[in-house]
Structure 1
Amino acid sequence: MKPTLPQDDPAVALRREALDRARKQYVYDRSVRDCLFAATVPVRDKGSPKYWAELMEANLRVSTNKAATARPTEAAEGIVSGLKSMAEKLRANRLADDLDAMKKAVTLDTEHPLASPDAYARAYELIEQPTSASTWDHDAFFAWMALAGPFPTLLERLRAVPAHLALTADRFRRATGGDLAAALREGRVFVADYALLDGAVGGSVDGYTKYVCAPIAVYASTSAGFVPVGIQLGQEATALFAQPGDGTTWSMAKTALLASDSQITGLIGHFGLCHLVLEAVVLASKRNLADSHPLRILLDAHTEETLIVNDITRSSLTPVNGTIDRMMAQSREASLDMVARAVREFRILESAPPEDFARRGVDDVRALPDYPWRDDHLLLWEAVETWIDAYVRAYYADDAAVELDEELQAFTVELEGDELGGLEGIGWITTREGLVALLARIVFRATVFHAGVNYALYDLGYAPFAPQAQFGPGPTGRDAHGDWMRMMPPYDIAYEVIEAFYPLRVRINTLGDYGRDVDDAAVAEPLAAFQARLREIEEIIAARNTERPFPYLLSLPSRISNSIHV
């Protein structure tokens, strides 16, 4: 199929008829607390055999592991012995039913609290332990998460200490040995403020009360590296301020902060600002861009399996007693409302890495010399933007061609429409530069940004390190080991997190590898240049990782997916 703009297509009437049919197939649905999904997923978008095979294998592994780690019950033994028939079940299209039965048949301990954090390690009998299992209790690793965690975008430069933050010169000196005033002047003090959770109320699951707080973490860039200064457990200056060296109180403060971070990462960073943003893109593109439109061809490659994974998400995460209701700290309703607000407030045209880093004051490499999310993403952003610029110019001879493209204009109108895509701030695209700005940000979010969030979740989701919800009150300053263990999840709920996160490791495509989807001679040369640049970036990042306190692998181009499919 030759890529063709509508104004250049002699069969434009047929294009319009095809799009009229598409609009009946691809329908916006905001019935889930204003979160956007496709009302139904057409058969053509229900997933390739390769996709389902990869997902089934991951689910099979984690379910088999569950059976192997369970106490030997008759149900568990029956499921394990039944694994020999899995190939036949797959051919009969009944594997999904069998996996679901396995999850329900195998029961795990509901023990809470566990005796020690080490007790969670028994959950990994047949599957790999998360990489964080060996470093989770190190302060250096905790600080590293603010720079290279799954969603390290709350980090901001602190220019002056606000009245509601109880950071004093003495507290700063205790943690760093340095002078607070000088560090502020030099731009070396940073905060991650979870004010979005202020006023949030914990939900409940299986009789357990869940807790949530809105902490503020303070960090400093020092000659010894990036270090934690302290954690304030709330938005008031009177809240407990814990610091390294405070024993169990400090351990509990880190657990509380990382549980809060899980809410922002999982709900907003991953589900909202990746999956739901791209749901708007894929629906608007399929409804308004003909199959032969060059933008549709590109966007189809970057939304491969996005509709079906979001449909799976809708059915598994969003219902009452679904994954969000059970795993996350707040109720289902409060969690989904927070997601919907975040997407409504998101401005995709302000989301490029250089804009984000400048806005947060973390763009000064002298003050903050090692920030992998910034340093690697800037390299990747430049490569993506250059490729998209060349792609747009290959099909649009000038700005007039952009303005004449009726399908593009309809696409952007729907993308921004309040009850449609709901991505505000896009406006009317009339220039090639404006089109590149929008398209590059979409592609970057579907690839580099999503990969950085999604593929971190399993390895950083170890229950003692980053519980998805807090199951006991936070520290008081007079804390014992048992108080800390009560904050961690019951064993069976911790395994539900493993079941949710393990399949997120699936990757069915790779950034820049378009196969036959993008094979027009008009873009062959810039595509080859893009792929060559990605190979160079792979080497640059690999070299950087030899100098970092912990390797950051998620920005290696070979590990970045080309679309959101898990």
Structure 2
Amino acid sequence: MTGIELKFLNGVNPGVIKRCSELPTNFAVTEEMVKPFLEEGSSLQKEMEKGNMFLYDQKKMDGIPPAAYNGEPLHVTAGLCLFNVNPENKLMPIAIQLNQQPSEKNPIFLPSDPETDWLLAKMFIKNADCMDHASVHHLMRTHFLAEVFAVAALRSFPVIHPMYKLLFPHFRHTLHINTTGRLSLLGPDGVLSKSSLGFVGLMELMRRDLSEMTYSSLCLPENIAARGLESIPDFYYRDDGLKLWNIIKSFVKAVVEHYYPSDSEVHKDTELQDWISEVFTHGFLGNKAAGFPAAFHTVQEVVKFTTMVIFTTTVQHAAVNSGQYDYSSWAPNATLLLRKPPPTTKGQSSMKTVLETLPNVGETVQFAALTWLLSERYTDYIPLGTYPEERFDEPEPKQMIKEFQAELSYLSEAITSRNSHLERPYTYLDPAEIENSVSI
């Protein structure tokens, strides 16, 4: 089984764990429980002080009614998982609590428990994560955000507007794939509706996440800092992603400052203001508390927001989409559906329990086929930074595009070189492998 920790660093859902400097009061882990899995002579408190403890908390799933299966309700766990970076620099799970409120029927599962108990605990954590990844981090935070940006652009900008020329290549096929996906993927009869949460449950999960979504969570440098992940080792999503954020920002800054030499130019551009107003109102539902701009006042604000838009529709989508077959095609590693309830006492499970909990053959094949389809790419694939339509006529932006492409090419070479020394190469954020838009 691929390690549970891999999916949360360099797998398909790298945006959910955070540094743990203090255990949540509802997570009933004790020093005695986890001491055997820490460095000899260390303690839970010492490891937290050293910045070696990390947490995955699925509390936003708590209380969402699950789907029914053969007339009986399924079980979705809103669990907590504690990780430790060990002396070998490996991020390892060391304690799992499968529900938010501690109780006798909600024990802390440990790596020293019977093998199938620990396996089941990890499977339930990853089942919840799989649903969160598919509906929130993939569909909503890349596909549906891209749609918001695209529709607002179509409504606000004429095709000769420089911001239209800059943004629109990153929306290619987005409206088509989203329209198709709403039926085949997320609709009442779609593949995701066969998950443990079902169609109604996934809608509620997305609603909850949207109400908590912040501007800073979509801006990678701020996201990494807020989660305390600046120094966690071997975190290639962070390393490659931050480099790409800076390369995109440098390109966007050059183009935006070319057309908006001062803040007053930004103020006066009614079409630009219409675009951000549409995005704020219809995409982020006017939620000022979340930090999203309702209007642009400075060139700097336009640069940052446009960087986030291009990063979301290219880099972030590649990060959460491209590895789906690699990480989620094998059901024990990550599945949208678990058929049996989670363990409530230790020592009662067996491999028979595990097999009865996993989806049946037909369901497994359907989910695997979905991950294969989503990890494919079009025959007319356009990599990041490639603009075959040549919308810009002036020599200055054309030169900026060339410089952007050169920077991406240098990074691609560096990533290829790094990957040649890795046991498990991280290829998803190689610029040559990143699609220029959310198109599948």
Work out the CA distance in 1 between the residues paired with 2:240 and 2:369: 30
Q: Percent identity?
A: 26
Partner in structure 2 of residue 32 of structure 1 = none
For the pair 1:226 / 2:96, whether they are aligned, the reply is no
- Deviation for aligned residue 1:209: 4.7
- Deviation for aligned residue 1:343: 2.9
Partner in structure 1 of residue 430 of structure 2 = 556
Work out the CA distance in 2 between the residues paired with 1:180 and 1:271: 37
Partner in structure 2 of residue 89 of structure 1 = none
Q: In the alignment, which of 19, 33, 45 is matched to residue 157 of structure 1?
A: 19
Work out the CA distance in 2 between the residues paired with 1:487 and 1:299: 45
8 A contact 1:209–1:472 mirrored in 2: no
Partner in structure 2 of residue 401 of structure 1 = 265
| 1:438 to 1:386, Cα distance in 2 relative to 1, 3 A | same
Partner in structure 2 of residue 186 of structure 1 = 50
For the pair 1:506 / 2:377, whether they are aligned, the reply is yes
**Given the two structures, how large is their TM-score scaled by the length of structure 1?**
0.72
Q: In the alignment, which of 101, 104, 109 is matched to residue 236 of structure 1?
A: 101
Partner in structure 1 of residue 186 of structure 2 = 318
Q: In the alignment, which of 288, 292, 296 is matched to residue 160 of structure 2?
A: 292
Q: How does 1:466-505 map to 2 (within 5 A)?
A: 466-475=334-343, 476-477=345-346, 478-504=348-374, 505=376
- Deviation for aligned residue 1:423: 6.4
| 1:485 to 1:284, Cα distance in 2 relative to 1, 3 A | same
Work out the CA distance in 2 between the residues paired with 1:479 and 1:340: 35
8 A contact 2:192–2:336 mirrored in 1: no
8 A contact 2:338–2:357 mirrored in 1: yes
- RMSD, aligned CA: 1.8
Q: Give SS of 1:443's match.
A: helix
Partner in structure 1 of residue 323 of structure 2 = 456
- The residue type equivalent to 2:98 in the other structure is L
Deviates more, 1:454-463 or 1:301-310: 454-463
Partner in structure 2 of residue 202 of structure 1 = 66
Q: Give SS of 1:515's match.
A: coil
For the pair 1:259 / 2:123, whether they are aligned, the reply is no
Cα deviation 1:450-483 (Å, max 9, x = unaligned): 1100112122112121011211111231211111
Work out the CA distance in 1 between the residues paired with 2:217 and 2:15: 14
For the pair 1:147 / 2:21, whether they are aligned, the reply is no
Q: List alignment gaps of at least 5 residues for structure 1.
A: 1-136
Q: Give SS of 2:143's match.
A: helix
8 A contact 2:216–2:222 mirrored in 1: no
Cα deviation 1:188-243 (Å, max 9, x = unaligned): 10011111111123212455753210111111112112222121111123322212
- Deviation for aligned residue 1:541: 2.0
Work out the CA distance in 2 between the residues paired with 1:544 and 1:215: 35
8 A contact 1:344–1:422 mirrored in 2: no
Partner in structure 2 of residue 437 of structure 1 = 304
8 A contact 1:273–1:342 mirrored in 2: no
| 1:280 to 1:286, Cα distance in 2 relative to 1, 3 A | same
Work out the CA distance in 1 between the residues paired with 2:240 and 2:300: 24
8 A contact 1:294–1:395 mirrored in 2: yes
Q: Give SS of 1:231's match.
A: strand
Work out the CA distance in 2 between the residues paired with 1:145 and 1:509: 27
Work out the CA distance in 1 between the residues paired with 2:32 and 2:101: 19
- Deviation for aligned residue 1:543: 3.1
8 A contact 1:509–1:562 mirrored in 2: yes
For the pair 1:427 / 2:294, whether they are aligned, the reply is yes
8 A contact 1:262–1:469 mirrored in 2: no
8 A contact 1:216–1:234 mirrored in 2: yes
- The residue type equivalent to 1:341 in the other structure is R
- The residue type equivalent to 1:228 in the other structure is P
Task: Determine which structure has more spread, i.e. the larger CA radius of gyration.
Answer: 1
Q: Give SS of 2:175's match.
A: helix
- The residue type equivalent to 2:123 in the other structure is T
Q: Give SS of 1:417's match.
A: helix
Work out the CA distance in 1 between the residues paired with 2:332 and 2:159: 48
Work out the CA distance in 2 between the residues paired with 1:341 and 1:405: 34
Partner in structure 2 of residue 168 of structure 1 = 30
- The residue type equivalent to 2:66 in the other structure is G
Partner in structure 1 of residue 116 of structure 2 = 248
Work out the CA distance in 1 between the residues paired with 2:216 and 2:117: 42
- The residue type equivalent to 2:264 in the other structure is A
- The residue type equivalent to 1:347 in the other structure is T
**Given the two structures, how large is their TM-score scaled by the length of structure 2?**
0.91
Q: List alignment gaps of at least 5 residues for structure 2.
A: none
- What is the aligned length? 423
